[in-house]
Structures are given as C-alpha cells and as structure tokens.
Structure 1
Amino acid sequence: MPRPKRMDEAVPANLQSGLGHAAAVADAAPRPASGYAGDVSPALAAQWFADGRAVLVDVRTDAEREWVGFVPGAVPVAWKQWPGMALNPDFDSALRAAVPAGGKVLLLCRSGVRSVAAAKRAAELGIEAYNILEGFEGDPDADAHRNRKGGWRHRGLPWRQN
C-alpha cells in the first residue's frame, strides 16, 4: 500500500469532517461514524466537556502530554504506551474507571487516528464514545508542521503546557 503524500490523507475522519480550515461550530451535531457513536468537532467536544455532559479522555502517551501540552481536567489513559507504542493492557479498566455508567466519553489524540481506535474499543465495552476530529495538534501543513491546520490547540480551546 503506498504511503500518503500528506499526513492529512492518512486521517479519513478529519478529511470527512468538513471542518477544513473553517472555524468549528460549537453547536454542530456529531457526525456518524462506523463502530462508535460519532465524530465531533473540537469546539463541540470542548462545550460538552465544559458543561459536564461528557468525560474527556486523552489517549496520547504520557510523553506527548508532558512535552506537547494537555487539556486541563482531561483524564489521561494512553491507548498505546511509549516506548514501542504497544497497546496499553490497562486501557479497558482505566476507561471504565474514568467514565460513569451510562456516560459519554470524548477521546482525544494527536491527530484523530488513535482516538478512532480507542472510540471503537470503548463502544465494544458498551460506552457511548466520540472521536474528537483533528486531535490535539491537527494535521501537518505543507511544511509538515502541526498546530497550524486544525486541532484543539490551533482552535484556541483550553490547554496547558508544563
């Protein structure tokens, strides 16, 4: 299989989001997805999280959250672990502990790839799961730089860096 020429070609949920370069609308509805409840814009995810309608789970590695930044109040539950990027054997139990029974979860990763896989797993566990489109850093631009083309940080949503 040939490698995509641009990283955004590798993130189908982002391509299908319709968000592109336009500002996300906070009251936009979730978009249908296969295998989980749906895809949501960063703005809608931030609104649900702020209103207490959903738990935000950051599935990036500890290193990513420490070095790149994090969303205050998000629950850190890595989907894959650094180094080696092996699946986190404690993911299921940590996710169940983070999301109250009958609750919704919003899953965030760097660009929207790991969070789709995590959303599918959460749905298999019986949790209403949503992938946050564009992730924390968004897709790379033409110069392979992130945070310039979508993503939680680029959209000016709450985040911190150590």
Structure 2
Amino acid sequence: MNAASNITAPSWDHCGQGVTAADLVGCRGIRVGSDGRCLAHLPDSDPVAYLAALAPGSDLDLRGATIDETLLSSIRAACTDRSTTNPRFGRTDFTESTFTGDARFYSATFTGDAKFESATFTGDAKFESATFTGDAEFHAVDFTGRAEFDSPTSRSPVA
C-alpha cells in the first residue's frame, strides 16, 4: 500500500476500521456485514453467518479485504463442491485484497471473472490446477513469496 492509499478512499463502501491521523481511510475491505464492517472485522458470530451463506459457485466480492490463511481456508471449505472435493467460485473480486500467509487456490474453479488486481500476497500464492472459465485479471499484483501457476486451465485471456 502506498502513501496515497492512506488518504484516498477506495471506490467501494469500505470498512474504515482503524482510522488514525496517519491513515485517514482505515481498513479498505468492502462492507459485508449489516454494521458496515468487512469480513475480517465482523463480530465473532457474523463471519460464521457469512460463510454459512456461501455455497459452491457463490460470487465473492472481497475487495480490499485482509484475508489470512484461516479465513481463506474457511471460504474454500464453504465453496467446496462435494462431488469434486474442490472449491468452485463464481465471479470473484479480490481487487486490492491482502492475503497474509500462503494463499491456496489449487484445484479451484473460477466460473466467472476472477479479479486479483493490485492484490498483495505476503506468502506463497498457489494456483496449481486452477481453472478459469472467465477472464482472470492479475494486473499490478505484489507477490512476496512464490507464485505457482502449474497446470492452470483458462478458457479466456489471463491478464
């Protein structure tokens, strides 16, 4: 995140937790809860309700969110197709999201457009055997660890 990010709000309704004199925007995660918080800042029972509403093929809009390994694992589990034992996501938007730790998307199917624009991966990003049936956008992504795209399948351009 650059200095301009600390003063320029994202284009989506964002959480805003943690606003300080040095960070006038606070958390950039898109609001998913009824109280205006992002998934990472929801009270304890609310993430459970959010995850329970997910199913294989669900659309995910987690722009600007901070997603740790545990949360990503829970999202993967909620979207896992029991017939294939692999996660299946609909349209996904992880624009400006930060994945802390390793981000495992191996054998995942993205049935809609998958946006990872300006996302940050602080650990390894693993997309082995992932399938993208829509556009896959990885513009200006920051990979701190390894980015693994072994044997991906795409029916549309990957940018």
TM-score normalised by length of structure 2: 0.27
Q: TM-score, normalised by structure 1?
A: 0.26
Larger helix percent: 1
| Larger RCO (CA under 8 A, 6+ residues apart) | 1
In proportion to residue count, which structure has more strand? Answer: 2
